[in-house]
């Protein structure tokens, strides 16, 4: 294998180790050891809708609240923010990693793609789903 191929393989393996997508997170939530999900957005965004069961720890508060609310530094943790145009989840993953958390992953696509794939969300009105966006997931699965 060439050095370029080895480098590419290492890069993509690292991405898969440190990122997850909405459908993989949905499957992981149903597993025997579901990850802790952390929504890093502001209160107004959380109120608009979030992944059911997620903890709400806004990014600026994460460093001060993590030790208390995420005591197991080896537990799987998935952080998310709005979507691909937001780097709040990247900042949160970096913060937790610097604090010594070993199982941190970032939800690629964030809340936007979670909702666009028709996965359950919670709002002030209760649990709901948006219609599946055919550009993000096959309809009818």
Residue 138, pLDDT score: 80
Residue 23: predicted pLDDT: 95
d(CA 2, CA 30) in angstroms, rounded, equals 39
How much is the pLDDT for 141? Answer: 55
Tokens coding 12: 């993509």
pLDDT value at position 140?
66
Distance CA 124, CA 32 (A): 29
Q: Rounded distance, CA 76 to CA 123, Å?
A: 25
Q: Are 70 and 39 in contact (CB under 8 A)?
A: no
The H or E element spanning position 62 is helix 59-69
Q: Which domains does the chain have, with CATH numbers?
A: 19-128 (3.40.250.10)
pLDDT at 64: 97
- What global pTM score does this model have? 0.93
The low-confidence residues of the chain, meaning pLDDT below 50, are none
């Amino acid at each position: 294998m060439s050095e370029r191929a080895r480098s590419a393989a290492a890069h993509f393996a690292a991405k898969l180790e440190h990122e997850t997508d909405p459908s993989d997170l949905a499957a992981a939530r149903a597993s025997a050891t579901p990850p802790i999900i952390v929504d890093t957005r502001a209160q107004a965004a959380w109120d608009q809708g979030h992944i059911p069961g997620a903890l709400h720890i806004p990014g600026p508060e994460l460093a001060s609240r993590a030790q208390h609310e995420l005591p197991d530094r080896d537990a799987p943790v998935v952080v998310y923010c709005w979507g691909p145009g937001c780097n709040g989840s990247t900042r949160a993953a970096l913060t937790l990693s610097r604090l010594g958390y070993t199982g941190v992953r970032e939800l690629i696509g964030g809340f936007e793609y979670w909702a666009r794939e028709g996965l359950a969300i919670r709002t002030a009105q209760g649990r709901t789903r948006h219609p599946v966006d055919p550009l993000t997931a096959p309809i009818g699965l």
